[in-house]
Amino acid sequence: MSHDWNHNLALIWTKMVAPSRPSISELNIYSKYARILQNSKREKLKLLVLGSTPEFRDWGYEYNFDITVIDNNKDYYETIFREIRHKDIKETLINEKWQNLNAIQEYDIIIGDLAIGNIPPVDLENFIEKVSKALTKNGLFLGKSFYTLKNYVPVEFRKMVIDYYNGPPYNPYSYFAYNLTIGCLDENNLLCFKKQYDVVKKLNEAGILKDETFEYFTNVGWDTQMKFLFHVPNVEVFESLVQKYLSIHKIEYGQEIYSNNFPLHIITTKNTNLFIKE
């Protein structure tokens, strides 16, 4: 599902905003747990970033982690480097699919933003098991993704746009992303990005979505570059798979307009003693 993350998509992806990128408030939450782990160990922590997310790589640099990136597309990895703030960063690249993760070495932190959605549903449990084997004792698996939530009631698209214009100013993607995604899922909880584009195009043609708002969505690759399916699992299904191999220590939330719909899972190894003094 992630084979189309190439050079061209890397150029487009830089126009994306949270929740498709980690936000500052989310990084602050991850940092809280990274510091707990750092305080429990003497040696330098080993960080594995699922994908080439520059925010996580800069974050690892700032915490003096030993950084490894796993990414199936080397062109994407090299192109997105333009987003890295710390140009003297030192890191190792594993040019491989995330779901093929092998514990070449153990990692103290494995982190990925929307990583779950880029793993084919049939590979998800196997991937979680591999993560469990790749973590050190007390290691952390951190991240967010799109999930279907038990109590979420989708908002009709027309009303979504009207509410957007009647409220405080937000980036339209941050405001629309979750509801638009849930409303465009197929019967297998898979998202076709072209379907999202068609929705906003129709809203624009109907005069509901303003031209300046629609312009943003014409530049994020939904209709031209993102020609793959994205998996949005039921959150309870995901958590039940996690708990077969790992432990969910806590679920936290950022401080953005979308945050209530994006649980940040703080996952650790079974029988951890990391949080005894927390």
How does pLDDT run across 14-24, given as a tens digit for each residue? 778 999 999 99
Which backbone phi and psi does 64 adopt, to 5 degrees? 60, 40
Instruction: For the beta carbon of residue 206, count every other beta carbon within 10 angstroms.
Output: 10
- What pLDDT, on the 0 to 100 scale, is given for residue 1? 45
Burial of 222 (0-12, 13-18, 19+ CB in 10 A): buried
Q: Distance of CA 216 to CAs 15, 17, 172, 219, 221, Å?
A: 9, 11, 8, 6, 10
Residue 4: is its pLDDT beyond 70?
no
More confident residue, 228 or 256: 256
For the ranges 95-99, 238-242, 257-261, the lowest mean pLDDT is seen at: 95-99
- Could you read off the pLDDT of 30-54 as tens digits, one per residue? 999 999 999 998 899 999 999 999 9
pLDDT band at 103 (very low <50, low <70, confident <90, very high): low
Which residues, listed in sequence order, are joined to residue 49 by a DSSP beta bridge? 69, 111
DSSP-derived pairing of the beta strands 247-252 and 264-268 = antiparallel
Please state, for a pLDDT cut of 70, what percent of the chain lies above it.
Answer: 96
Residue 277: is its pLDDT beyond 70?
no
pLDDT band at 2 (very low <50, low <70, confident <90, very high): very low
- What pLDDT, on the 0 to 100 scale, is given for residue 170? 94
Enter the pTM of the model: 0.95
Q: Which CATH code fits 7-147+232-268? A: 3.40.50.150
Residue 80: is its pLDDT beyond 70?
yes
Angstrom distance (rounded) from CA 190 to CA 270: 30
Q: How many residues does the chain have?
A: 278
Average pLDDT over residues 131-158: 96
Average pLDDT over residues 123-148: 96
Residue 192: is its pLDDT beyond 80?
yes
Domains of the chain, by residue range, sit at 7-147+232-268, 157-230
Residue 269: is its pLDDT beyond 60?
yes
